[in-house]
Amino acid sequence: MADLRVNIAGVDFANPLIAASGTFGFGREYQEFYPLSTLGGISCKGITLMERPGNPPPRIAETPSGMLNSVGLQNPGVDHFIEKDLPWLKQQGTVVIANIAGNTQQDYCRMADKLSASSVDLVELNISCPNVKQGGVQFGTSCQGVEEITSAVRKYCKKPLMVKLSPNVADIGEIAKAAEAGGADAISLINTLTGMRIDIRTRRPILHNNTGGLSGPAVFPVAVRMVWQAAQKVKVPVVGLGGISTWQDAVEMLLAGASALQIGTALFTDPYAPVKILDGLNRYLDENHIASVTELTGAVCPYGN
């Protein structure tokens, strides 16, 4: 069997498959299906400084080849996560990534400080959430904003820091460079694209928040393109996500430049999706006599101009 181990920002993963934030909760429900050690890591549900109830319903809508969500970062808060969820997670034999979101720079810094004293393996800085009315996305759509928030959090974060980037920007390569300049040890992309649906009978938006984040297979080609562009601009590892549903998608994203992968929306229709993707990736590597999954990263051969 091929070597599936990867290293992201100094953290060793048994394999490149990570459950994406917001789709896996804190892992308790999914451990009824398979040991969480099957996964390389878990990016936990996004946490904020204080408990947040999230947006009022309706906040989920199915779309062709995907879904819209405006859950609004419902979560119990960082202190509850550290005290109640993290001890259990650390017993599951997988890398634990804390995904943090905030309304202000101070919120992010305070959470980074708290998590630095905890046993999390890595912090994912979510500056790209399009389904809350305040915070997050305001930091993630300009190079100056990305570099400033990353630099500020870097001063407080003693754990490896990964910055999650928004696709709702003009030049993802420059945004990626800004995160790296601010001190990011890795970047992850893409977060959801901003979308909207309207009920033609009521003439009202389907989501109570009017707009939400589009995810699922529909966004996969956009994600591949942006991972490819970002990977050419930075030296830090790139974690690719956005519509990965099959092992073929996983291989494609690795070839585009990803060093590891996050699986999200696919979990809602098939909780075993990461297991199936891992099995398929393993077979692909063996059948093509590839010794290590790291050999795929960035191995695309683009056509010349």
What residues contact 2, with CB distance under 8 A and at least 6 apart?
282, 285, 286, 290, 291, 292, 293
Q: What is the pLDDT of residue 274?
A: 97
Q: Are 5 and 297 in contact (CB under 8 A)?
A: no
| Mean pLDDT across 22-26 | 95
pTM for the whole structure: 0.96
CA dihedral over 159, 214, 39, 250, signed as positive or negative: negative
Cα 5 from Cα 111, distance rounded (Å): 29
Residue 138 pLDDT > 90: no
CA torsion through residues 55, 129, 191, 28, sign: negative
Instruction: Work out the mean pLDDT of the chain and round it to a whole number.
Output: 95
> Two tokens at 12?
């060793």
Domain 6-296 of CATH type 3.20.20.70: yes
pLDDT tens-digit profile of 140-193?
A: 889 999 999 999 999 999 999 999 999 999 999 999 999 999 999 999 999 999
- DSSP-derived secondary structure letter, 282: H
Q: Give the H or E element holding residue 123.
A: strand 122-126
Note the pLDDT of residue 305. 59
At 1 the pLDDT is: 84
Average pLDDT over residues 195-202: 96
End-to-end, the C-alpha distance of the chain in Å comes to 38
Q: Can you spell out the DSSP letters for 290-301?
A: -SBGGGGTT---
Given this model, what pLDDT does residue 227 score?
Answer: 98
What is the band of 135 on the pLDDT scale with cuts at 50, 70, 90?
low
Has residue 136 got a pLDDT over 60?
no
What percent of the chain shows pLDDT beyond 70?
96
Residues labelled catalytic? 129
**How high is the pLDDT of residue 130?**
53
Tokens of 282: 């393993």
Q: Residue 213's CB: how many other CB atoms inside 10 A?
A: 27
Q: Which of 237, 260, 235, 254 is nearest to 300 (CA)?
A: 254
What are the pLDDT digits (tens) for 178-196?
Answer: 999 999 999 999 999 999 9
Q: How far is CA 6 from its chain centroid?
A: 17
Is 98 within 8 Å of 71 (Cβ atoms)? Answer: no
